[in-house]
Amino acid sequence: MIQEAHWEQARVEAYSFWKKLPSEKISLNLCVDRTLATDAIALVELPTYPTSAMDGYAVCGKGPWRIVGEVKAGAPMKGGLKEGTAVKIATGAVIPDKTFGIIRWEIATVDGDNLNGEVKEGQEIRPAGLESNKGEVLATAGTVLNPGLIGLLAAAGHDLLEVVRIPKATIILLGDEIVLDGLPHDGLVRDALGPQLPGWLHKLGVEVIATHYVSDELDLVTKAFAAAAKNSDVVFTTAGTADGPRDHVRAAIAALKGELIIDRVKVRPGHPMVLAHINKVPFVGLPGNPQSAIVALLTLGQPVIDALMGRKEAELHQIVTGDDINVPEGFTRLVLGNIVDGWFEMGEYLGSAMLRGLAHSTGFAVAEKSMEEGEMVAWLPLP
């Protein structure tokens, strides 16, 4: 167990602890945003046949040529061309045997059946295998499938793809002070995490199977944790991570013989976050302050999800900060904001209990030390 982990160390440790979930084979058309479980290879050469890159004439031997027919896309010519002959050919049509090159129609001189023009060997011909050989790896296991990749794998002959099963998540929201609808009253606060966590988790590739609200009583929290550990691939809890008299996350994990993996991370905000497992099911303990909860979701939750799905560890890109950033000694600070014209622009309303900064930001600058405008800083995008 790591107590008071460094932010980067917490991300690495949170990634390294879990086994990849099993995979399933599903229709290629349903695979957007899913994660490849195995390498995807080209089942055919790309292009599969030598094809014409232009509409024009396929010619054989030296000109002038006699036009003897037409080749349409999808209907290859039977037999090859003979010396001194040409056929009209469409873009994407299979090149007839013995073709010397293609003359685009707009630079060809045609008079009845007679064709004249300049041509070099192989002109406007796309050879088979130009883009990929058969068996070549087009995307490695762990790649998240975007629409472009799905198009590529369709062209390469796939109908089904082997993808990692979607992790099933349970959310457990702790707290006696939360009200679920209407206006807050009598010291109660509107629940700001229940409505947003499913959205973030969906964007991270997780399916939320249940959301439970549990009062700050140790036996109730323990019961809820035990039930969630039985049917979830990962559990996210909110609040109850500090050491107050009604903060029960650690005690409930201990009562169920769970094991803490990371106990607090030296980051502002989000410091009391916790990562544990109960029977190898990851429990990500997000602090109750709403912005701190999202910092913890990205610090611990994202690496856990990436590991469960066999994705690669996320690498952070460097950007230039357009604002000075103050960082408390010994801590990493995650600062909400946006990239504007390539520069980091700090958000407004950044208190850990506030939501306006989060609501109008696209990510966090990750600052390891205090810095001035113009210095490089890592960028952690919101999902």
Ligand X SMILES: Nc1nc2c(c(=O)[nH]1)N[C@H]1C(S)=C(S)[C@@H](COP(=O)(O)OP(=O)(O)OC[C@H]3O[C@@H](n4cnc5c(N)ncnc54)[C@H](O)[C@@H]3O)O[C@H]1N2
Q: What's the N-to-C CA distance of the chain in angstroms?
A: 28
Near ligand X by CB under 6 A: residue from 88, 271, 277, 311: 271
Q: 346, 323 in Cβ contact below 8 A?
A: yes
**Structural tokens at position 99:** 């073709």
Collapsing DSSP to helix, strand or coil, 192 comes out as: coil
Residues near 326 by beta carbon (within 8 Å), at least 6 away in sequence: 333, 370
Residue 147 CB, shortest distance to ligand MOO, in Å, is 37
Collapsing DSSP to helix, strand or coil, 19 comes out as: coil
Residue tagged 């109750």 (tokens): 288
Instruction: CB nearer to ligand MOO: give 117 or 269.
Output: 269
Stretch that binds ligand X, among 15-23, 170-178, 226-234, 274-282 (CB under 6 A): 170-178
Residue 291 CB, shortest distance to ligand X, in Å, is 9
Q: x/- contact string, 106-135, with ligand X (CB under 6 A)?
A: ------------------------------
Distance CA 304, CA 313 (A): 10
Instruction: CB nearer to ligand X: give 141 or 221.
Output: 221
Q: x/- contact string, 107-136, with ligand MOO (CB under 6 A)?
A: ------------------------------
- Identify what 301 binds: ligand MOO, ligand X, none; CB under 5 to 8 Å per kind: none
**Amino acid sitting at position 192:** A
Cβ atoms < 10 Å from Cβ of 303: 24
Residues near 243 by beta carbon (within 8 Å), at least 6 away in sequence: 272
- Identify what 189 binds: ligand MOO, ligand X, none; CB under 5 to 8 Å per kind: ligand X
Residue 186 CB, shortest distance to ligand X, in Å, is 13
According to CB under 6 A, which residues from 286 to 305 bind ligand X? 287-290, 292
The most distant pair of C-alpha atoms in the chain lies apart, rounded to whole Å, by 96
Please return the burial class of 257, using the count of CB atoms within 10 Å of its CB with bins 0-12, 13-18 and 19+. exposed
Alpha helices in the chain (DSSP H): 7-16, 147-155, 197-203, 218-231, 249-255, 290-296, 302-308, 356-359
Near ligand X by CB under 6 A: residue from 142, 175, 337, 357: 175
Residue 308 CB, shortest distance to ligand MOO, in Å, is 25
242 is a site residue for ligand X (CB under 6 A): yes
271 is a site residue for ligand MOO (CB under 6 A): yes
189 is a site residue for ligand X (CB under 6 A): yes
Q: 321, 274 in Cβ contact below 8 A?
A: no
Instruction: CB nearer to ligand X: give 26 or 242.
Output: 242
Near ligand MOO by CB under 6 A: residue from 142, 269, 282, 357: 269
Instruction: CB nearer to ligand MOO: give 40 or 267.
Output: 267
**Structural tokens at position 320:** 């230039």
Instruction: CB nearer to ligand X: give 77 or 358.
Output: 358
Collapsing DSSP to helix, strand or coil, 265 comes out as: strand
Cis status, amide bond into 269, omega within 30 of 0: yes
Stretch that binds ligand X, among 10-18, 97-105, 120-128, 174-182 (CB under 6 A): 174-182
Collapsing DSSP to helix, strand or coil, 184 comes out as: coil
According to CB under 6 A, which residues from 281 to 320 bind ligand MOO? 287, 289, 292
Which residues are near ligand X by CB under 6 A? 173, 175, 177-178, 189, 191-194, 238-242, 244, 247, 271-272, 287-290, 292, 352-353
